[in-house]
Amino acid sequence: MVLAVIIGVISGLLTSLFVLYFNLPTKVQYLEEILIKAPPKAIYDAIRYQEQLMKWSAWPSATKSQCAVRNVDGQLGAQTVYLQKGKQFGYQEVIALVANEKVSFYLTSNAPFEQNTRLHFYLNEIDVEHTRVLLYFDNTLKRPSHIFPYVFGIIQWTHNMHLKDLAGLKKFAENNK
C-alpha cells in the first residue's frame, strides 16, 4: 500500500514535470510604459549612466547587493557589476545606445537556470517637458531549467521589479531634470 502511494506520487510528479517541460514557454517578453515629466536627454542619461541608474533602480536593495561600474560609464560596454559580500553574482552591460532615444542592456546572473536576457528602454519625446518611456523585456530561458522561474514565481517578481524601476526612474528624472 505505502509502495503504491509512493509510486503514484513519483509518477504524478514526473508527469507534471513532463507537462510543464513542453507547455511552459521559454520566451518571456513584455512591454511597459510610463510618462515622465522630463526631457529625453535627462532620462537617457539617467538610464545609460550606471552610477545614476543605481540611484533609482529597485534591484540593488531588493537583491541586497552592492554595485560597481566597470568600463567607461555611459558608453557601450559599461557594466554594472552586482556583488554580494564582495563576490560578483551578475552584471548588466550597455549594448546599444541611440542618443536620447534608446538604451539596451544584456543581463546575466548566477541564476540556477540558463537564460539570455535583454532589456531595452525606448524614449519618445511627447513635448519639451514630457517623455514616454517604454521598457521592453526580452528573455529566452533554456529547457529544462525554464521550469524553475515559473514554479518559484521569478518571472512575476522580475516583472514587478521592472514596474518599480519605471516608478523609480520617473521620480529620479522628474526631481533631477
Cell output for 131: 517623455
DSSP-assigned letter for residue 143:
T
Q: Is 23 among the domain residues?
A: no
* Residue 125 host element (H or E): strand 115-127
Is residue 46 within 8 A of residue 172, CB to CB? The reply is yes
In this structure, is residue 114 part of a structural domain?
yes
- 15 found inside a domain: no
* Nearest-5° Cα angle at 130, 126 to 136: 75
* Integer Cα distance of 49 and 57 in angstroms: 12
Domain count of the fold of the chain: 1
pLDDT for the residue numbered 48: 97
Is residue 13 situated within a structural domain? Answer: no
pLDDT at 110: 73
Containing structural domain, residue 49 = 29-175
Query: How distant is the alpha carbon of residue 107 from its chain centre?
Result: 7
Is the CA virtual torsion 51, 76, 44, 141 positive or negative? negative
Q: What is the pLDDT of residues 86-112, one digit of tens each?
A: 888 889 999 999 999 999 999 988 766
**Residue reference for cell 514596474:** 163
Q: Is there a contact between 122 and 133 (Cβ–Cβ < 8 Å)?
A: yes
CATH number reported for the structural domain that contains residue 168 in this entry = 3.30.530.20
The residues of the chain scoring below 50 in pLDDT are none
Decide: residue 136, CB within 10 A, 0-12 exposed, 13-18 middle, 19+ buried: middle
Give the cell for residue 100. Answer: 536620447
pLDDT digits (tens, 9 = 90+) for 70-81: 999 999 999 999
pTM of the model: 0.87
